[in-house]
Amino acid sequence: MPLLEAQASADYAIFDDGIMVTNSEYVQQGALDFYQIFTNKQEENGTTFLIGIPTLLLIVTSIYTIRKVDRKYKDTYIIFLLFSYISLFMCFKFFPWKWMPNILCKLQYAWRMMGFFDFFIAFVCGVNAVILLQALKKKEKWKYGISIAFILVSIVYTSNVMQMFYTKDDTVDAEYEDYIRNAKTLSHFQINREYLPVKAILEQRTYMLDKEDKTDVLEGKASIMQEEKEGLHMEIQIEDLQAGTRLEFPYIYYPGYEIVLEKENTDKFVLKDEESVHGYLSVYITEDIDKATIRVNYVSTWITKISYGISLVALIGFIFYIAKQNKKEKVNGKS
């Protein structure tokens, strides 16, 4: 619900197929070739897609182990096995991405489905390993020998893959961490720009570079006497506000801000927030005001708060459900 609310409030880059290049043709081009899961060759983007012999061997053993899986877990085993194959299939170029609707192509890179494959196949491989070791329960030496050999081979493969990320110059990471830790502000080049409003991202090398950390008068007339900004809170003392004035605050536009105007006679009312032509938070003044104080605070939206509440209730309910099921199983076990 918060996602839909944000999508309805402004045009963000993440929802723009042109800026995000999320069309089906692009995803088809970015999909993997089948050979890439069998090689440790580093790709141009610094990623390797090698699955590795240990995992492949455990996957192949599913032909034997699927008949040995306990009935209690067999449905889950089959579902995870099926989903792992589907996820892996969606990583490759021979998956028909070019005929898929754009909404499915929002993930941008077909190989991101490898993460889902890893999640599902981990359960399958774990079950397979247990069943294979149980088959050797009468041959303890073989059992421990195979376990040790498997672990050693896995370590060798993992170390081989991790070598590409190793650097002897540790100062590079240390300097980068210090720079991020001590930076007072974040450049627009350092954040996830896909979450910027389209209006802002189109001016990321012009207006965003030059904009100061203060309130600007885009239209009309107003005299800003004093302003204080701390995080997501801002207070502005302003005079001679004319009707038809538009103020732009130094915040990228997202739903959830509350802008309160307090007149000299202590009248308070909430102003309607809008997105400026530059993708920043702004308000439009509809009447003449001599003196006023404007307070800007991020308070989130009611939809977001309700969604968090629903999630919390669901989590608590799930925990109680698990506890009840465990208690029920213990009672049935004793009887």
Q: Give, for all 335 residues of the chain, the pLDDT tens digit.
A: 888 899 899 999 888 877 777 788 888 888 888 888 887 766 666 677 888 888 888 899 999 899 999 888 899 999 999 999 999 999 999 999 988 887 778 777 788 899 999 999 999 999 998 888 887 776 777 777 877 887 887 788 777 767 666 656 666 667 777 776 666 665 656 667 788 899 998 888 889 888 999 999 999 999 999 999 999 999 999 999 999 999 999 999 999 999 999 987 777 889 999 999 999 999 999 999 999 999 999 999 999 999 999 999 999 999 999 999 988 888 877 66
Instruction: Round to whole Å and give the CA distance between 241 and 239.
Output: 6
In this structure, is residue 119 part of a structural domain?
A: yes
pLDDT value of residue 191 = 66
Q: Are 112 and 25 in contact (CB under 8 A)?
A: no
In this structure, is residue 3 part of a structural domain?
A: no
> By residue range, what is the domain housing residue 132?
18-166
pLDDT value of residue 44 = 64
Q: Are 263 and 291 in contact (CB under 8 A)?
A: yes
pLDDT value of residue 214 = 94
In this structure, is residue 83 part of a structural domain?
A: yes
In this structure, is residue 264 part of a structural domain?
A: no
In this structure, is residue 118 part of a structural domain?
A: yes
Query: Starting at the edge strand that comes first in sequence, how are the strands of the sheet with 233-241 ordered?
Result: 223-230, 233-241, 289-298, 257-263, 268-271
Note the helical H segments in the chain: 2-9, 17-20, 24-30, 53-60, 62-65, 71-89, 113-134, 140-162, 170-182, 198-201, 207-210, 302-334
In this structure, is residue 89 part of a structural domain?
A: yes
In this structure, is residue 238 part of a structural domain?
A: no
Closest CA to 14 of 188, 263, 194: 194
pLDDT value of residue 172 = 64
Helices (H) and strands (E) in the chain, counts: 12, 9
pLDDT value of residue 127 = 92
Tokens for 118, please give them. Answer: 């890893």
Instruction: Round to whole Å and give the CA distance between 120 and 331.
Output: 31
In this structure, is residue 159 part of a structural domain?
A: yes
Q: Report CA-CA distances (Å) from 201 to 18, 164, 181.
A: 13, 33, 25
Backbone angles phi, psi at 153, to 5 degrees: -65, -40
Instruction: Round to whole Å and give the CA distance between 226 and 310.
Output: 41
Number of domains the chain is built from: 1
pLDDT value of residue 265 = 72
pLDDT value of residue 79 = 95
pLDDT value of residue 50 = 81
